[in-house]
Amino acid sequence: IFEKEFEIIRKIVPLYKDMAEKGKVELTTTPFTHPILPLLCDTDLARIASPNLSLPKRRFSHKEDAEAQVKMALDYFESIFGFHPRGMWPSEGSVGEKVIPIFVSNRVNWIASDEEILTKSLDLRDGKKRDYIYEPYVVKSDKGDVDMIFRDHILSDLIGFSYKYLEAETAAKDFLKRVHDIKERLSDKEHALISVILDGENAWQDYPNDGKDFLNALYTALENDDEVETVTVSEYLDRYPPTKEISHLFTGSWIFHNLETWIGEEEENDAWDLLGKARDELESVQREGKISEENLRMAWKEMYAAEGSDWFWWFGDDQDSGRDWEYDEEFRRHLMNIYYYLGEPIPLELYKPIIRVGKVLMHKQPRGLFDIVVDGEETNYFEWLDAGVFDLAAQSGDVMKQVSGKLDKMYYGFDEKISFLNMRIDLNKEFFKRERRGIRILLNVKDKDYMVDYMPAEGCKFIRSDGSKIDIEGKYTNLFETRIPLSEMDVKPDDAIAVVVVLVENEVELERRPESGFLDIKVPTKHLEEIMWIV
């Protein structure tokens, strides 16, 4: 099966190239890792469309990154197809005055966006007759000009979301009727351009026969219609260059003509802050000139990947994949890799999920205060008898992970003076048979992050919120035990400690429990035994 798949895949690029050379299609590209260009230029630009939008604490403003993303895409395209594309679809149709010079300097002749961007740019009221969208425009800048076309929102969305419910022939006829209705009401019936733009891959999975029946019916109808001609964008612009100018291009995207899908919610803003912090560190290390060219190249590669729009798409409440935590984890991994290649300590905050999820309830609460011997063994039957217990294996929503995972249970409690948080973690005995493996306990108290970092060869460290480290007791023999000094976290009775347990190998996260959310531990008073006895 794989051989057949690769055989088909190998034919795709030559087929596209052949069709482009024959003028059957026009090939374009999009910024390299699909970033939202206006937000890379300046996150404050989001307030043009949304004046009251909450913004990240750290302003991200790197037009040079937007420039790099466009250039990388064009260079890669040219390396594959052997020619420079004339047009580009900005990721999510996100445009604005600040990004036009980037396209000019990279020899992009035309770009596209949504009709609502044109409506806002021309300062027209919503609901006005839409005839103005059926022609190209030129956008001028200090660097030069770029032509723009704007998609017919209705026709595009009919294909993207509605025609899948109709018979192929019925849908094609409806589309052609709407095209003719547009022609009849336009004054310039000969030169009108109807732009239909939609996600190239997302629609067809919901169509019968992957959309083949509909597309065959549609293109057959278009081919047989004497009043309609299908053209590439460049073909049209060569024949009919734009005669109208946009003096102020509105900043937004094809989603509600704003940028709120990728910025403004708490999770999204936190992600921008983390991205900006890593970006500043990367630039600082680069200026010092003490990093190898290869490590610098890899750090930038990770940065550009983290600038992609899809991470921010899934943060917040406006979109839900059902597995948002995976996107969260991958985004933070890219940022961690930046620090890794820079040879800098990875900030503790990158070990903590960005996604806001609730605490995971415990299975058993502690019954009393108790002291332990940190030897990596169950010293005697009574040592952990009064401990609270979390079933870490059960914290995975994936049944297979519950079976194959390495983490089993976490026991916890406090010593009699409530000076230490005692923790024990039971895990698969095969785990430490490989080198460079370790246990990390992520702790959060009053929005401050701390970490216990244990590796058998290096001992047990407590990492403060400022990144400084101290040695603490911690050992694995048949289980892992540690005593965490509460004085280092400035906790008081009734304070809550959020806990996440992570297994790592060579700085790569292997397993996290819980997969999302945190374990909630409450600091007791010295009267815990009396309270539990009464209960």
Both tokens of residue 25? 């299609």
The percent of residues in the chain predicted with pLDDT above 90, rounded, is: 77
Segment among 36-40, 231-235, 514-518 with least mean pLDDT: 514-518
Does residue 359 surpass a pLDDT of 70? no
Calculate what percentage of the chain has a pLDDT beyond 70: 94
Contacts of 12 (CB under 8 A, 6+ apart): none
Distance of CA 362 to the CA centre of its chain: 31
> Could you say which of 1.20.1430.10, 1.10.10.60, 3.90.850.10, 1.10.1050.10 is the CATH number of the domain covering 266-351?
1.20.1430.10
Average pLDDT for residues 58-79, to the nearest whole number? 98
Predicted local distance difference test score (pLDDT) of residue 506:
84
pLDDT of residue 356: 81
Beta-ladder partners of 389 = 364, 411
So what's the pLDDT on residue 533?
37
Residue 142's identity, in one-letter code, is: D
Structure tokens at 51: 């004046």
Residue 275 has pLDDT above 70, yes or no: yes
- State how far the alpha carbon of 231 is from the alpha carbons of 37, 279, 379, in Å: 28, 42, 79
DSSP at 364: B
**172-200: average pLDDT:** 92
Q: Which two tokens stand for residue 177?
A: 């009727």
- Kindly report, residue by residue over 445-463, the tens digit of the pLDDT: 998 999 999 999 999 999 9
| Neighbour tally for 328: CB within 10 Å | 21
Distance from chain centroid for Cα 318: 13
> Is 96 a residue whose pLDDT tops 90?
yes
pLDDT at position 333 is: 94
CATH, domain 2-246, list 3.20.110.20, 1.20.1260.10, 3.30.360.10, 3.40.640.10 = 3.20.110.20
Res. 514: pLDDT tops 90: no
Of the pLDDT bands very low, low, confident and very high (cuts 50, 70, 90), residue 398 is: very low
Say what the pLDDT of residue 179 is: 97
The CATH code of domain 359-534 reads 2.60.40.1190
CA separation, residue 492 to residues 384, 466, 496, 522, 523 (Å): 23, 20, 9, 10, 7
Is 403's pLDDT higher than 60? no
- Higher per-residue pLDDT: 295 or 319: 295
Q: What residues does 501 pair with on adjacent strands?
A: 441, 513
Average pLDDT over residues 348-361: 79
Residue 508: pLDDT over 90:
no
Give the pLDDT band (50/70/90) at residue 59: very high
pLDDT band for position 381 (cuts 50, 70, 90): confident
Average pLDDT over residues 400-428: 81
Q: Do domains 2-246 and 359-534 have the same CATH topology?
A: no
Whole-prediction pTM value?
Answer: 0.81
Candidate from 12-21, 414-423, 429-438 with smallest mean pLDDT:
429-438
Quick check: 427 and 510 in contact, CB under 8 A? no
Q: What is the pLDDT of residue 321?
A: 81
Calculate mean pLDDT across residues 234-255. 97
**Taking residues 470-486, what's their average pLDDT?**
96
Assigned token pair, 397: 């929503």
Residue 479 pLDDT greater than 90, yes or no: yes
Confidence of residue 531 (pLDDT cuts 50, 70, 90): very low
Q: Tell me the C-alpha distance between 326 and 339, whole Å.
A: 20
Q: Which helix (H) or strand (E) holds 407?
A: strand 407-414
Strands laid side by side in the 480-485 sheet: 388-391, 407-414, 420-427, 480-485, 474-476
Does the pLDDT value for residue 362 go beyond 70? no
Annotated domain spans of the chain: 2-246, 266-351, 359-534
Structural contact between residues 376 and 479, judged by C-beta atoms closer than 8 angstroms:
yes
Q: How confident is the model at residue 429 (pLDDT cuts 50, 70, 90)?
A: confident
Q: Are 87 and 73 in contact (CB under 8 A)?
A: no
Please tell me which residue, 145 or 199, carries the higher pLDDT value.
145
Instruction: State both tokens at 146.
Output: 């770029």
pLDDT of residue 532 exceeding 60: no
Please give the average per-residue pLDDT across 88-96, as a whole number.
98
Q: What is the pLDDT of residue 95?
A: 99
Closest C-alpha among 230, 219, 215 to residue 163: 215
Residue identified by tokens 């921008």 is 272
- Mean pLDDT confidence for 57-62: 98
3-state secondary structure (DSSP) of residue 273: helix
With cut-offs at 50, 70 and 90, classify the pLDDT of residue 404.
Answer: very low
Query: How long a stretch of residues is the chain?
Result: 535
The stretches of 289-422 forming alpha helices (DSSP H) are 293-306, 309-314, 324-342, 399-404
Of residues 511 and 148, which shows the higher confidence score?
A: 148
pLDDT at residue number 395: 59
Encoding tokens for residue 70? 């466009």
Q: Quick one: pLDDT at residue 128?
A: 61
